Amino acid sequence: MAKASIGDVDLVLKTMATTIVDNADYFAHLDSIVGDGDFGYSLRNGFEVVLSDWDALDRSSVGSLLKKVGLIIAAKVGGVSGPIWGTAFLRAGATAGDRTELAPEDVIAMLRAAIAGIMSRGNASLGEKTLLDALVPATDSLEAAIGDPAMNADHGVAAIQRAADVAVKAAEDTKSMLAMRGRAAYTGERSIGSVDAGATAVGVILQAISAAWRERYGKGETA
């Protein structure tokens, strides 16, 4: 699997931001079933600023870019989502450091750092009906792909699609979980039977990233 450039990181981040803004109503609706319904709109507030500041973001390194996005999210996204998502970007950025391109192993290390940050900041674990329940399986899938020769011949197109599919299924599987974190935790057993909004968002975002990645590299284009 080839290394990713800052241009690739740009593609992933812009796709993520656009997808969050475009799906704000959907994410908010999911959150309103057992939560306070502000999840999609809170995220949109932050990522709209990311998009408006896009051309001015520091691209001297992957770490500087991710840290800047993390600071915007932490400052502009309300509720618990701001600190949690902001911490994820800041931890990933710290792990990326001054790199200007990323090996697949670097990407996994960044995702693991983001996951650890979410767990620490949100005091959350797997199985508690949060975005972790989609993000962790997707990351596991990507990591497994690194060691699979069959997944390494197309610049990560198949690997990213598989990770996105894993995230969607994992998000659907949160229906049977009892919410243990956030506003949904106060609803007790009423939280069973509906998907977690954060986990669903991870699946939607990864599907969009997969489509954008396939558009760029599906015909064998190189970085």
What domains can you pick out in the chain, each with its CATH number? 4-217 (1.25.40.340)
Q: Where are the alpha helices (DSSP H) in 23-155?
A: 24-34, 39-52, 62-76, 81-96, 104-122, 132-146
Span 18-24, average pLDDT: 98
Indicate whether 150 pLDDT > 90: no
Distance CA 11, CA 34 (A): 33
Phi-psi region of 77 (alpha: psi -120 to 50; beta: other; left: phi over 0): beta
pTM, full prediction: 0.92
Closest to 111 measured CA to CA, from 130, 137, 129: 137
CB-CB contact of 74 with 87 (8 Å): yes
The fraction of the chain above a pLDDT of 90, given in percent, is: 73
Point out the least confidently predicted range of 4-8, 64-68, 137-141, 146-150: 146-150
What per-residue confidence (pLDDT) applies to 183? 53
User: pLDDT of 111-139, one tens digit each?
Assistant: 999 999 999 998 888 888 999 999 999 99
- Give the bridge partners for 4, in sequence order: 102
Closest to 80 measured CA to CA, from 134, 39, 126: 39
- C-alpha triplet 10, 122, 183: angle, nearest 5°: 105
State residue 141 phi and psi, 5-degree precision: -65, -45
Point out the least confidently predicted range of 45-54, 61-70, 128-137, 214-223: 214-223
Indicate whether 200 pLDDT > 90: yes
Burial 34-61 (b: 16+ CB within 10 A, else e): bbebbbbbbbbbbbbbbeeeeeeeeeeb
Span 39-64, average pLDDT: 96
Indicate whether 186 pLDDT > 50: no
Average pLDDT value for the chain:
90
Point out the least confidently predicted range of 30-34, 89-93, 191-195: 191-195
What per-residue confidence (pLDDT) applies to 189? 54
User: pLDDT of 27-48, one tens digit each?
Assistant: 999 988 877 678 899 999 999 9
The fraction of the chain above a pLDDT of 70, given in percent, is: 90
